[in-house]
Structure 1
Amino acid sequence: MLANLFKPTPLLDNATKDWILDTFAWALSEFDLNVFKQDSQLILPIYEFYPGKVNSIEEMAQSVFEHTLKYAGMQHWPIKLVSPNKYQPTAMAKLSFKDGMRGAQSQVINTDYSEQNNSEILVSYNPSQINQPQDLVASFAQAFAAILIAQRGVSPPGGEEFMPQAMDLLACFMGFGVMFANTAYQFKGGCGSCYNKYANRQVALPEQEMIYCLALFSTLKSIPAKQVTTHLKSHLRSDFKKAMKELQGELKQNSNLALISAKLT
């Protein structure tokens, strides 16, 4: 009884942790394990990852779009950025792939071309996010994750009901977990003019769930905790360290072959 009083409370309940582990394994199985192991990196909100000077909203959006698409391993996909006033939702052409869906070696083949349904996949942006670049990056990563899942044609663990959460997790799997964790919650207090709800991205996985996903990515990629916590909001750092510690035990007990394969070097 007394021992339980001093036992640390887990960051997440067992069902949530199991879903994250199962869904990460799903991502590893469906979306190019070798790209994850060899190419995926932790994308940070610093100049090294998003360099260059821009002179307009459009240039800023295009620059962030191109870098994010490259880090997602989808730089060869026929995905085009259009301004919000020119964006019109269209049916997505079905693509085929040679040498995987993602990565520098991947080749995209359009198998569903017609005048009404060409190969270009259009993505737009929220101009209000230009002053909140982490939200802009996360929104693009969400869009790319949605496109990736649609082209693969597979549902995540839990089925269609969990698709929004799976998109957030898949974006973390591609390396964008720091920015997803930092933008999962937006403080509404303080000066009213400082808060713009229209600039915030759509959130499916809350802070602690996203922190656990980020810790899983970092553990599988052998990324030191300090390399991550330096770029997290201060109130997230202790939860991240806690998640990393918990995962050391979780992964030792987990028998999922995809997770085991991801950890092998």
Structure 2
Amino acid sequence: MLSLFKQQPCLDESTTLWILDTYQWALEHFELEEFNQNTQLILPTSDFYPGKVSSIEEMAQSVFDKTLHYAGLKNWPIKLVSPMTYQQNPQMQKIPKLQFNNAIRGDKAEVFSNDFSQGASSTIYVSFNPNQINQPQDLVASYAQAFAAILITQRGILPPGGEQFTSQAIDLLASFMGFGVMFANTAYQFKGGCGSCYNRYANREVALPENEMVYCLALYCVLKGTPVKHVTLHLKSHLRGLFKKAYKELDDKRKKQKLPLLDNA
């Protein structure tokens, strides 16, 4: 009889275990110290993305610079270029292999390249989707996705499950870097009644759907001790209940010491 009132878990067991294992992978390979000391939950507010801009290019650059800083990659040779420039220069789409001293992210990161081949560049180029200028959370999330993908490529260590789970790991790693609210809010785009305001070209590519992204966000907040109300104020209304449930589930696991990864955080 009591089982009738037992709350069902947020996700199926295999998905939950993959998220926990992949978060452990992120903690081990993408700077635990940076996560503990400097990573903050990035919110869609003027506190994180202040300032006025006068053009699409200025907007794209401003958001890029701040997102790069929040991701802990400001010491990396990553440069924003226009979509046309990026598309017309295949060489820019090749990611050089970089070397690191001290750390891969944060102020301690020292980045250099040993590639001295003819025409080789140590710069990593990233572009943007002009359609996302009016959807800033998608723009931020797309940049964070690009940075997470670059990080995984440079580290060269596959996530749990192997290469076939790389796209999902990119989304999780972006949440690990503090962009979980943006990712949860942009995981699903409602097309609306007539679709007249819906622009599919402005949406970011999604690997982890809403429920999984909310769970990743909740895990981040449990690890960092972020208050629930600090998050729910900035989530889409239909995600708030799920976030609270996921937070409680994960916090209960923490209290019962069923999250071994927390021992390292």
TM-score using structure 2 length: 0.96
2:104 alignment counterpart: 101
SS of match in other structure, 1:131: coil
Q: Distance in 1 between matches of 2:213 and 2:263?
A: 21
CA contact (8 A) 1:28 1:259 kept: no
Deviation at 1:141, TM superposition (A): 0.2
Q: Distance in 2 between matches of 1:154 and 1:142?
A: 17
* Residue of 128, 139, 149 corresponding to 1:136: 139
User: CA 1:228/1:255 → structure 2, altered by over 3 Å: closer, same or farther?
Assistant: closer
Deviation at 1:191, TM superposition (A): 4.1
Q: Distance in 2 between matches of 1:39 and 1:192?
A: 41
What percent of counterpart residues are identical? 65
Q: Distance in 1 between matches of 2:3 and 2:120?
A: 60
SS of match in other structure, 1:243: helix
Q: Distance in 1 between matches of 2:235 and 2:140?
A: 15
1:158 alignment counterpart: 161
TM-score using structure 1 length: 0.96
Q: Distance in 2 between matches of 1:30 and 1:39?
A: 16
1:83 alignment counterpart: 82
CA contact (8 A) 1:92 1:117 kept: no
Q: Quick one: which amino acid aligns to residue 36 of structure 1?
A: F
Give deviations 1:201-227, integer Å, cap 9, x for gaps: 000001010000000000000000000
Q: Distance in 1 between matches of 2:99 and 2:199?
A: 40
Q: Distance in 2 between matches of 1:259 and 1:123?
A: 34
1:148 alignment counterpart: 151
SS of match in other structure, 2:61: helix
Q: Which runs of 5+ in 2 are unaligned?
A: none
Q: Distance in 2 between matches of 1:255 and 1:233?
A: 28
SS of match in other structure, 2:22: helix
CA contact (8 A) 1:45 1:179 kept: yes
SS of match in other structure, 2:112: strand
CA contact (8 A) 2:218 2:243 kept: yes
1:43 alignment counterpart: 42
